[in-house]
Each structure stands twice: as C-alpha cells, then as structure tokens.
Amino acid sequence: MGLTTVIGLTGMNVYSLYALHDNTVKNSIEKQKRQLLEFSNQVRSRFRYPLSDLRKIDMTNLQKQLDIPDHIPEELAEIIRKTSEDSLFSQIYLTPPDCRVCDRYGAPVWVYNKYIDRFEETKNYSPLVSDGLAIARTRMGTLANGYRWNARIIFDAHNSMTITLINSNSQEVVAYLNFLINSDYLVDNYMSPKLIKTFGSGSDTGIVVWLHNWTINDVLASTDESVAYSYQKVDFIQNFPDLLNDWNLKAAFSANPAIAASRASLTRNLFVLGGAVVLLIGAFIFMFLTAQRERSLAQRQALFLANVTHELKTPLSVILAAGENLSDGRVRDRNRIKSYGSHIYKESERLRSMIDRLLDVARFDTETVRIHQKWIDAADFTRNLLDNKRNFLESMGFTVHFDMEAELPEIRIDTDDMTSILENLIENAINYSPDEKHLAIRTYQNNQKLYIEIKDHGIGIPRNSQKYIFDKFYRVENALTAQTRGHGLGLSIVKDLVSRNGGEILVDSTPGKGSVFILVFPAHGQQKKSVTEHHEETNKSKETEHVL
C-alpha cells in the first residue's frame, strides 16, 4: 500500500510538473503570437494616418469647392502636403470620380508636385496607378451606397494605397487619392528594423520571424539571417489586415529564456522528485527487509525454544529414570549401579553445558561479562587443547594435523574464552564432517598479527549463508543440519568472545569441500617469552587483570 501510494503521488507530481511546463510554453508562444498580431496592426497604422485627417473634412463642402487641378481646398491640400514628405510614398495622384484610367488610350491623371505645391496633369504614369484606381472603383461600386464614412482605404497589395473620398450624405464618390508605395523603404527602413526591435535578433529570443512574399516565395526580411527559411520550420503565419495581401509574417518558435528556465526547473524538480522517490522506496524496502529479518529471528527463537525445551527434557528424563531406579533400591548389581551413575553424570554434564551456553548468551546480551586477560603462548595453548582431545577425535575417526611457525608472538586473551572459542570450532568440525573426517589447525604470524586456522573437509557453507552464520539462532538449512543437534548459538558466541578479546574471525568455505575458520589476534609486537621470563611472570604476587 505504501509503494502504491508513493507511485501514485509520484505520477501526479510528474503530471503536474509537465502540465506546468506545457502551460509555460503555451503562454510564451501565445504571447509571441500576440506580438506578431500587434506588429501587423502597427504596420497598418503606419499607412492609415492620412485617413484620420481626411475623416475630419466635410465632404459635402469639399465636393462643392473641389476643381481639379485649379482649386484644391486648403484642408485637403494640407493633408496632401504633409503626406508627400513621408518617404513611405513615392507619388501622390488625384483623379475625379469619372476618370477612366483604364481606358484603352489612357485618360490623364493629376500628380502632385511638391516642389511647386500643386497637381499637374500627366499621362505618363505607372500601370500601378491604373491597377490601384481600378480596384478602388470596383470595390466602391459595391460599397458606396451603404458606406457610412467619408473615406475608404483600399490597397493593391504592396504597390499602392487608394483613398476614396465619399460624400456620405449623397452617397457619391468625390475623388480618388492614389499613393504609390515605396516598397524598398517599407522593407529596408521600416519593417526590417522594427522586426528586430520587436522580436530581437538571434535564437536566444525564442522566435525567428521572416517577412515573406508568398506569391513569389521570396524572403524580404528576417530577424536572424543565420536561420535559412523553410516552410517546414514555420510554426505560425500572421497576415496583414486589409493591406499587403502578398506578404505575411512567418514565425518559427524555439526555446526562449522563459521556456528554457521552465525546462531547467522541470529537470531539476524531476531529479529532486526522483531522489525523494528513491529514498522513500529505499525506506520501504529497508523496513520490509527489517520486518522480514525480525520475523525470521522470531521464528528462529521460537524454534530454539522448542529445541531447548526438548533437549532439556531428554537428559532430565534419563536422570529421573536412573535416579528412580536407584532410589527404589531394586538395583543391587554393582555394574548396573555404575552404569546408572555414568548415565546420570553424562546427562548432567550435557545439561550443564547447555545451561552454560545459555548463560553466556544472556551475559553477552547484557554486557556483564568480566574478561581476565593475560599473555599466553597461543600456539602452545592450542596444541595442549588439541592433545587433550586427540584420543576422542581419533576415536571418532578423525585424522588430526597441527602445524605452527617457530618464534610466534604471544597474545593477550582470557584463557577460558580461548578454550570456548577453540572447543566450539572443533565441535562444529566434528558435527559437519560426516564423510571425510579431517581436522587441521595451523598457527602463524603476519603483519604483527597472530593467525589460528581451523580447517575441516566437511560439507561446507553456501556462499549466500556465510554472512549469516555468526547471527544468533541461525542455522544453514540442509538435510545434514536438520539431523544435527544445535541451536545456532555456537558461532555467535565464538564471534562475541573473539571480539571482546580484540580479535576478529573470518570464514572461507566451499560447499562440498570444507570450511576454514581463521582467528586473528593483535600480537602487540612481542615475541615469545623465554622460560626465565615466563617463571618470573608466574611468580608475581598479582596477575595482571583486564576487566571489560
């Protein structure tokens, strides 16, 4: 349930982080789209400024006063004069409503000469004038009757701008003002600098904008010349409203600073979230493993209690039966009496050994063990203990081999502890060597440390169990150990005794080939004492005692 909750919350957080990042990206792109629309409207306003002044004129009075080219009312002349100073327009033409510039032979039109401040009749004009006026006349043929304003702008792509002057009262066209557009100035001096000012140059702004003539597939201007135009790169197209019909703005979006910061924040948050999830899952796994270990320990303790109870009952039953027979006086034969006494003695020893081991475990757990250390010759000590057990080992069918280096250093240890350590390891070798009965003990030194190896040719220990054999109540599960008496305490006691005396125990085992237990004790750099030094030490009034 905990893992499911963590995974669910993690999924929700990841979804929220990506949703937040996507929202940031969308908002950034929408902002750039609004900038493109605002740019197109600014370009439109750049053309429409003459219209704002023309709409203030009373077209009814203008229609009465206008006599092209002899009399141009001052209010109209002022607007034309001001517009002629704008480099955006190259020529200004004025024609009456009945002028048919598209006639076969060409009707005259009037062009403004700013140097003499008046209109002059001319037949030498650009076809763009004819196209613009024709488009305006056609459009106004459908709009004039219902049009409520006194002026209307009509564009011929990027070539010309025609303003139709309208008497809204009589629904009549008063005149046509045609402005030829200077395309080079529009692109090079106005739109290109304005694009860079508005959108910036370079990829760090997150957008590349091209001013594109789509009719001939020609790029007129770009915010980043290093990025070649390709239709596949285009993410958005913005047209110009009511003007420049052949041109549009094409944009390619990339990671701008806001998007880059959002992406960096997303990556950072994902790493933090991933780390937190790993820690949480690790904590759950740790708790699970700990619970499993506690459960296993509880099972081993329960099994230990059952085994101890059973094994305590066995010697007690033998002792009770023998004691009952002796107390009744029914047994008078000396041999039988001796046999019963021998049974009582052996079972009592076995019972005492079990109780001592349990007491040792209890003392180790409460850390109340008193250790009396003294300098001993570990090699002689081990050899003497092995000699005492040699007859027993040989009677069990074991071949015993002992090897020691010369001039070994002495170690400081509690002799009772040393006896328990060696006896437990020898007992293990006996119990777990059913076939090849061999026991070898070797003592040697290396790097100011004394080593004692106890080697057998028994069943060995599986690799995955070797790290657990020194735990309390742990026993390797196999057919032989199931038939062998034990409670999983011997090696645990050995490790505690070795550790309390400043040493360590290592194991190297191969299943089917046997095991080697290695005891390592610090030698403190002292060589073996001479016989004289040994007698002097034993004659001291008080033996050195080290209590932990």
Each residue of 509-520: pLDDT tens digit?
888 888 999 999
pLDDT range class, residue 248, cuts 50, 70, 90: very high
Claim to verify: residue 162 and residue 92 sit in the same structural domain: yes
Secondary structure (3-state) at 505 = strand
pLDDT for the residue 213: 92
Which residue has better confidence, 132 or 315?
Answer: 132
Distance CA 294, CA 304 (A): 15
Claim to verify: residue 230 and residue 293 sit in the same structural domain: no
On the question of pLDDT at 140 being above 90, the answer is no
What residues have CB less than 8 Å from 169, skipping those under 6 apart?
59, 60
Q: Is residue 284 part of a domain?
A: yes
Distance CA 64, CA 254 (A): 59
Distance CA 175, CA 451 (A): 120
Domain holding 268: CATH number?
Answer: 1.10.287.130
Token pair, residue 65, equals: 């006063």
Q: Is residue 415 part of a domain?
A: yes
- Burial class of 488 by CB neighbour count within 10 A (0 to 12, 13 to 18, 19+): buried
On the question of pLDDT at 542 being above 70, the answer is no
Q: Which residues form the domain of 516?
A: 372-528
Kindly state the average pLDDT of the residues 230-250: 88
On the question of pLDDT at 489 being above 80, the answer is no
Claim to verify: residue 489 and residue 377 sit in the same structural domain: yes
Kindly state the average pLDDT of the residues 493-508: 88
Which residue, 254, 279, 313, sits at the end of a domain?
A: 254
Which residue, 230, 254, 278, sits at the end of a domain?
A: 254
- Burial class of 541 by CB neighbour count within 10 A (0 to 12, 13 to 18, 19+): exposed
To the nearest 10 degrees (0 to 180), the angle between helices 334-366 and 490-500 is 50
pLDDT for the residue 461: 87
Kindly state the average pLDDT of the residues 233-260: 83
Spell 157-196 as b/e; 16+ CB within 10 A means b.
bbbbbbbbbbbeeeeebbbbbbbbbbbeebbeebbbeebb
Claim to verify: residue 378 and residue 455 sit in the same structural domain: yes
Distance CA 101, CA 94 (A): 11
Claim to verify: residue 316 and residue 398 sit in the same structural domain: no
Q: DSSP secondary structure string, 330-371?
A: ----HHHHHHHHHHHHHHHHHHHHHHHHHHHHHHHHHT----
Claim to verify: residue 100 and residue 221 sit in the same structural domain: no
Distance CA 316, CA 343 (A): 11
Stretch (H or E) spanning 401: strand 399-404
Choose the most confident range, by mean pLDDT, from 15-19, 140-144, 151-155, 530-534.
Answer: 151-155
Claim to verify: residue 209 and residue 106 sit in the same structural domain: no
- pLDDT tens digit sequence for 304-344: 666 566 556 667 777 887 787 778 777 777 787 788 788 78
Kindly state the average pLDDT of the residues 74-89: 89
pLDDT above 70 coverage of the chain, percent: 83
pLDDT range class, residue 48, cuts 50, 70, 90: confident
Which residue has better confidence, 440 or 296?
Answer: 440
Kindly state the average pLDDT of the residues 202-227: 86
Kindly state the average pLDDT of the residues 104-132: 82
pLDDT range class, residue 258, cuts 50, 70, 90: low
Q: Is residue 435 part of a domain?
A: yes
pLDDT for the residue 529: 42
Distance CA 428, CA 433 (A): 8
Secondary structure (3-state) at 89 = strand
pLDDT for the residue 527: 46
Q: Is residue 452 part of a domain?
A: yes
Claim to verify: residue 241 and residue 357 sit in the same structural domain: no
Kindly state the average pLDDT of the residues 176-201: 90
Claim to verify: residue 473 and residue 505 sit in the same structural domain: yes
Claim to verify: residue 277 and residue 417 sit in the same structural domain: no
- pLDDT tens digit sequence for 266-278: 788 888 888 888 8
Domain holding 438: CATH number?
Answer: 3.30.565.10
Q: Is residue 245 part of a domain?
A: yes
Claim to verify: residue 415 and residue 331 sit in the same structural domain: no
Spell 61-78 as b/e; 16+ CB within 10 A means b.
ebbeebeeeeebbeebee
Q: Is residue 547 part of a domain?
A: no
Distance CA 220, CA 260 (A): 30
List residues bridging with 450 in a β-sheet.
445, 521
Which residue, 141, 170, 199, sits at the end of a domain?
A: 170
Stretch (H or E) spanning 28: helix 2-54
- pLDDT tens digit sequence for 455-470: 998 888 888 888 888 8
Task: State the average pLDDT for the chain.
Answer: 80
Q: Flag the least confident range among 28-42, 167-181, 531-545.
A: 531-545
Q: Using alpha carbons only, how large is the chain's radius of gyration in Å?
A: 55
- Structural domain count, the chain: 4
First to last CA, the chain: 47
Distance CA 306, CA 487 (A): 10
On the question of pLDDT at 255 being above 70, the answer is no
pLDDT for the residue 455: 92
On the question of pLDDT at 443 being above 80, the answer is yes
- CB atoms closer than 10 angstroms to residue 526: 12
pLDDT range class, residue 488, cuts 50, 70, 90: low
Q: Is residue 7 part of a domain?
A: no
On the question of pLDDT at 422 being above 60, the answer is yes
Segments in 98-240 forming alpha helices (H): 127-143, 183-185, 192-199
Which residue has better confidence, 140 or 383?
Answer: 383
pLDDT for the residue 392: 83
Q: Is residue 5 part of a domain?
A: no
Claim to verify: residue 359 and residue 212 sit in the same structural domain: no
